Amino acid sequence: MEGNKKRLSRRDFFRLAGIGIGSAAVVSAAKPMANPSDFKGGTFSDPAGRPNRPWWVKTVDEPTTEIDWDVMERYNERTGTVRGPGMAGYVGDDEVDRLSDVAKQNEKQRMLDDVDGYTLKDQALKSSHVGVGRSFLGPQKAKTPEDRGVPKWEGSPEEAARIIRAAMRHMGASSVGFMELDDNTRKLVYGVDPDGKDVIFTDDPIAEETEDARMVPNAAKYVIVYTVQMSTETMRRAPTPLASQTTTLAYKRGETIQASLQEFLRGLGYQCLAESSTNALGIAPAMAVMAGLGEMSRLNRLITPEFGPMVRVFKAFTDLPVAVDKPIDAGIMEFCKRCKKCAEACPSESLSFEDEPTWETRGGWNNPGHKAYFEDAVTCRAFWREQAGTNCGICFAVCPFTKKDKAWVHEWVKAGASTAPVLDSFFRSMDDAFGYGTQANSEEWWSLDLPEYGIDSNQPVMEA
């Protein structure tokens, strides 16, 4: 007995207590650590409402994607893209019809066979997301200052940026940035919208939409770019309808935010011109890069420091002057040079394996004038139809930047990748070793108690 008492000396007691307290602190810290964007509570420390980003996210004068503005031209989204009728331009109508038939047959057969991720309930969920509708000019139902008999809202560009950020975060946007249209950046605006209407800049101060064109006032030169987060836990079921429905949901949420934004700015006395259909008006990833929301990547899509590639990007033009943002360098493009995980995982081998980005495009679906990892959009889209039977998303799911926000190690790795590119290959190897990005069971998803929208984030709305 005496011996036992001696063993628990005061020193040992305090040591054990220290360990116990430390462990308790760690366990309690298993909830999300401080968000890299500092979205939680408090007030904006920046006059324009810019979030406090991690120290390793640096603002730069030029984006990490090299751009040759003299080569770049405004893109024809109607005929250039593989979305919609553009695909036929590359493979012919017969092939488009064949792919559609195969997709329909597979969809039905997989439902009948009860294939995980392709069952009726998965398809039903994917079909359930409906939006409020998109339009260039907006719903135009909100009362204007004129209707209320008051002058329109006035404030500095910083104040304007801040209140738009606050409003849009409240509407559900994950991040918001601003850029300005000048002679160069206007080239990121489509020359022709997906529905075939020309997008024309005009001296007329009031925006207008005709049967053939959408008229953008030169004064509406401020671009609001925003992201909507997708569910990482859902996307890791890619490629299935279950996984792709998080994309659909994000687009529909973006649609609702767009309408709300248009009405909010109308209520302030300003115009807000936005997407007439999904991905219309301009090149979203490029605008997001210019607005400092993220960097281009081997996916040839946007990767954000906060959410990785797990976002959908939207844009709107306004004549309310706002404080614009600068591009960022978070070491993402540099990491992509060594990683190649997405390219290795791509089942249709559509992503680039080049060590360095190139000026050479892969086809008309790419817009020349920037140095990028160009993808083969035709083989990608054909895989969607012929094999996956839905949007794919494997490249999003496996990307090492696609991480949830609970384990501290993710922030450390992102900081390390940003500051010590020599470690990038090691980080990629560890990403594999730790099992990140592996496909998860789709049927299991229906038993998960996921947070709102399936988003694993420490956004205030998720902290119930």
Partner 1 sequence: MSEKYTIEVKKRPWYEWLLWALWLLVSLFTLQNAVASGTELEPRAATIFWIVFVILVLGGGIVWYIRRDN
Binding site for partner 1 (CB under 8 A): 19, 22-23, 25-27, 29-30, 233, 404, 406-409, 433-436, 438, 440, 448, 456
Tokens of 21: 């307290």
Q: Between β-strands 208-209 and 213-217, what pairing exists: parallel, antiparallel or unpaired?
A: antiparallel
Query: Of the two residues 422 and 433, which places its CB atom closer to partner 1 in the complex?
Result: 433
Q: Which residues contact 385 (CB under 8 A, 6 or more apart)?
A: 99, 100, 102, 103
- Encoded amino acid at 112, one letter: L
Query: Of the two residues 26 and 71, which places its CB atom closer to partner 1 in the complex?
Result: 26
Tell me how far, at minimum, the Cβ of 166 lies from partner 1, in Å.
Answer: 30
Tell me how far, at minimum, the Cβ of 243 lies from partner 1, in Å.
Answer: 15
Tell me how far, at minimum, the Cβ of 404 lies from partner 1, in Å.
Answer: 4
Query: Of the two residues 3 and 42, which places its CB atom closer to partner 1 in the complex?
Result: 3
Tell me how far, at minimum, the Cβ of 368 lies from partner 1, in Å.
Answer: 40
Phi-psi region of 437 (alpha: psi -120 to 50; beta: other; left: phi over 0): left
Q: Which residues contact 365 (CB under 8 A, 6 or more apart)?
A: 80, 81, 82, 86, 90, 377, 378
Torsion, Cα of 383, 386, 387, 389 (10° steps): 100
Query: Of the two residues 242 and 290, which places its CB atom closer to partner 1 in the complex?
Result: 242
Tell me how far, at minimum, the Cβ of 434 lies from partner 1, in Å.
Answer: 4
Nearest Cα to Cα of residue 400 among 349, 336, 457: 336
Query: Of the two residues 23 and 109, which places its CB atom closer to partner 1 in the complex?
Result: 23
The sign of the dihedral angle between the CA atoms of 243, 244, 245, 247 is positive
Tell me how far, at minimum, the Cβ of 405 lies from partner 1, in Å.
Answer: 9
Query: Of the two residues 353 and 434, which places its CB atom closer to partner 1 in the complex?
Result: 434
Whole-number Å distance between alpha carbons of 93 and 101: 12
Query: Of the two residues 19 and 34, which places its CB atom closer to partner 1 in the complex?
Result: 19
Tell me how far, at minimum, the Cβ of 256 lies from partner 1, in Å.
Answer: 28
Peptide bond into 139 cis (omega under 30): no
Whole-number Å distance between alpha carbons of 143 and 264: 9
Q: Between β-strands 175-180 and 295-296, what pairing exists: parallel, antiparallel or unpaired?
A: unpaired
